[in-house]
Structure 1
Amino acid sequence: MINSFLTRSRVVDKGVLVAAPYVLAGQEKHILAGLNDDFYARGNLDPNLSVYGVYRDGGNYVDPASGELLGVRAQAIGSAKLKVMDKDVATLGVTRSEEEIRAYDRLLPDEAREIDTTFQPSAPPDGSDGLIVSVEGSVRVAGLLDVVAINLGDRSGIKTGNMLAIYKKGEVVKDRVTGGHVQLPAERAGLLMVFRTFEKMSYGLILNANRPLAVGDAVKSP
């Protein structure tokens, strides 16, 4: 199922994670919690919400071309169910864990992340031209079924289901005739499908790759 390859991470505005409720500790003062464990959190939790996502600050997404801050990566760590509240301290139970939950991890309202099974691939707006900003999983290169972040989002007219061709940036080689250096043309190296959009950027799943892909490679209308 394609949903198993998609990231649960989110992109939030600067300051959202800082202001969010945070993990105090696990039971018996443990600093880590895993699946089926309980932990304590503090902050402005809504007693009407039963499930929260647990996130960690994964760093900033920065446009490699303009230097613009595109958002902050809220790295998905797990999910937890609200059990008891006592003033501003709550007890929650871990219902899903991608890795151990730590003190200072943040809580945000949980999201439904299933992709629509009736989804149809579509063309992006004409002239769509962007760059890979990051590779999910903190790895240097991306390949088939990896998730990447791109610097095209809602404001660029990008929508879920849009298909974008990936172009590998050409190498810089020495011209042995003139003695100077020249950058080789970019070559098509893959295809991605956008599965989640945000205001300034999107997440895409690589559906085809004939060579390793990396931050700075171009994405364009096929």
Structure 2
Amino acid sequence: MIKQLSAAVLALAAAFPSLADVLTVKENAPEQYVVEKGDTLWDISAIYLDKPWLWPELWQMNPQIDNPHLIYPGDTLYLVYDAQGRPRLVMERPENYQKLTPHGRKTMKSDSAIPTISLELLRPFLTYEQALSEEQIAAQPYVLGANENVKRPTKGHILYVKGDLERNRNYAIYHKDDPYIDPQTEEVLGYEVKLVATARAFRSGDFDNGVPASVFVNDVKREINAGDFLLPVSEGQSLPAFFKMRRPDKEIDGEIIASTNELREFSKMDIVVLNRGLIDEVKAGHMFDIRRQSPTVVDGDDGPSYKEDASTYEKVASNIEESFNFEEDGDNTTWHMPKEKVGELMVLKVQDRVSYAIVTKTLRPIRVGDVVSVN
């Protein structure tokens, strides 16, 4: 019997890729491939495409595969080209097909359909941080103290909360952390708030009459402090059941301003924070390239050198203007090099002025300050 895919399945789709996303098959793509147990649509597409998130272009327009989610171990897939020369994966090879090498692998057929990438597979990499404005934080109920005079309330303690809570509802307790600063405008985009604990309300409280609400601490991730605030446990943490991966419909340029692992460099499957959000029309599933500015070169009397290695005189004499690729000032020429691609990412969660994304591909270690763009 076909196993039912759970509601948390992550469908990696790109129904409307941009014109820049030309569907190019790898040179070593096999003529045929026999589905193996454990294969995903992403895995199979990666055999044929450098950008496997474009898999719907390879699969969904084929009448031979009515539902690409329902292919099974043992099914044989054939790489062919349609009348317009576009590559397609089909389950029945037509008479006039173009033969490619090497040949595909073979395995025994099973009765279980291969899944797409499940959201549950991403869960270990996800964090619960959010970005809220100072006004949003100030409007929430907050911790006054505990039922014992302890500095670090833990699991099993009772907390008293200023504000009205819904009895028997689960709440997340957050700590206000550092602000997210837009490096371009120096504006505060919001404050990072970190999940410290979860709790269940058993007294609703009566704020107007000075009666605090009461919660029972279920689990603790970090130290709970007086002043930490509460939100319903799922608020701000809901992710789409299906991510429709595609390029944004318009040019959006931004920058990586933080990462949730707080390291200097990070890699594939790490979560990063972008200085673009809902007001910039960023959406969950949007795919961006990650690019890094190459170092500026000052070509002076002693030959070319990187700006940071140039002499004080050369730095002053170069009179660098970012709007030009190079300038000449006496015997010095300053060259502003291009930005080069170092990876790709997909947006997971979008808030008003920031968004959270997962790094899906790296060519170099990713850093805070790397820029993101559509092309």
Quickly name the TM-score band, shorter chain normalised.
0.7 to 0.9
- Comparing 64-73 with 104-113, greater Cα deviation is found at 104-113
Q: How many percent of aligned residue pairs carry the same amino acid?
A: 26
1:160 equivalent in structure 2: 284
Deviation at 1:114, TM superposition (A): 5.2
More helix by share: 2
Q: Among residues 174, 187, 198, which one is paired with 1:68 in the alignment?
A: 187
| The one of 130, 136, 145 aligned to 2:260 | 136
Residue 95, structure 1, aligned to residue 218, structure 2: yes
CA distance in 2, matches of 1:62, 1:208: 26
The aligned counterpart of 1:24 is 144
> Which residue in 2 is equivalent to 1:200?
353
Counterpart residue number, 2:232: 109
Choose 1 or 2 for highest CA Rg.
2
- Displacement of 1:49 after TM fit? 6.5
Query: Which runs of 5 or more structure 2 residues have no equivalent in the other structure?
Result: 1-120, 305-330
**Does residue 373 of structure 2 align to residue 220 of structure 1?**
yes
In 2: Cα distance, 1:204 partner to 1:171 partner: 26
Match of 1:41 in 2: 160
Contact 2:161 2:215 in 1 (8 A): no
Are the counterparts in 2 of residues 23 and 39 from structure 1 also a CA contact under 8 Å? no
- Any idea what SS the aligned residue of 2:127 has? coil
Normalised by the length of structure 2, the TM-score is: 0.54
CA contact (8 A) 1:77 1:97 kept: yes
Aligned match for 2:274, one of 141, 150, 157: 150
Indicate the RMSD between aligned Cα atoms, in angstroms.
2.2
Q: Deviations over 1:160-210 (max 9, x none)?
A: 011111002222344325545544321101111101111222111111122
Please identify which structure carries the higher strand content: 1
Question: How far, CA to CA, are the matches of 1:102 and 1:29 in structure 2?
Answer: 12
Residues 51 and 82, structure 1, Cα contact 8 Å, conserved in 2: yes
1:59 lines up with 2:212 in the alignment: no
Distance in 2 (alpha carbons) for counterparts of 1:27 and 1:126? 54
- Cα deviation 1:112-168 (Å, max 9, x = unaligned): 635334323121133111111211233332222111111121122111011111002
Q: Which residue of 2 aligns with 1:15?
A: 135
Measure how far apart 1:94 and its partner are.
Answer: 2.3
**Which AA in structure 2 matches 1:148?**
V
Matches of 1:73 and 1:46 in 2, distance apart?
23
Stretch deviating more after TM superposition (102-111 or 64-73):
102-111
Q: Number of aligned pairs?
A: 221
Contact 1:173–1:181 (Cα < 8 Å) also in 2: yes
Aligned-partner SS, 2:279: helix
Looking at structure 2, the residues matched to 33 and 209 of structure 1 have their Cα atoms a distance apart, in angstroms, of 41
Name the CA distance, whole Å, in 1 between partners of 2:341 and 2:281: 23
Q: Greater relative contact order (Cα 8 A, min sep 6): structure 1 or 2?
A: 1
Structure 1 contact 40–89 (Cα < 8 Å) conserved: no
| Deviating 4+ runs (over 6 angstroms) | none
Cα pair 2:144 2:161 within 8 Å, conserved: yes
Aligned partner (choices 184, 208, 212) of residue 337 of structure 2: 184
Answer whether contact 2:167 2:201 (CA < 8 A) is retained: no
Q: CA deviation at 1:81?
A: 0.7
Change (3 A) 1:114 1:42: closer
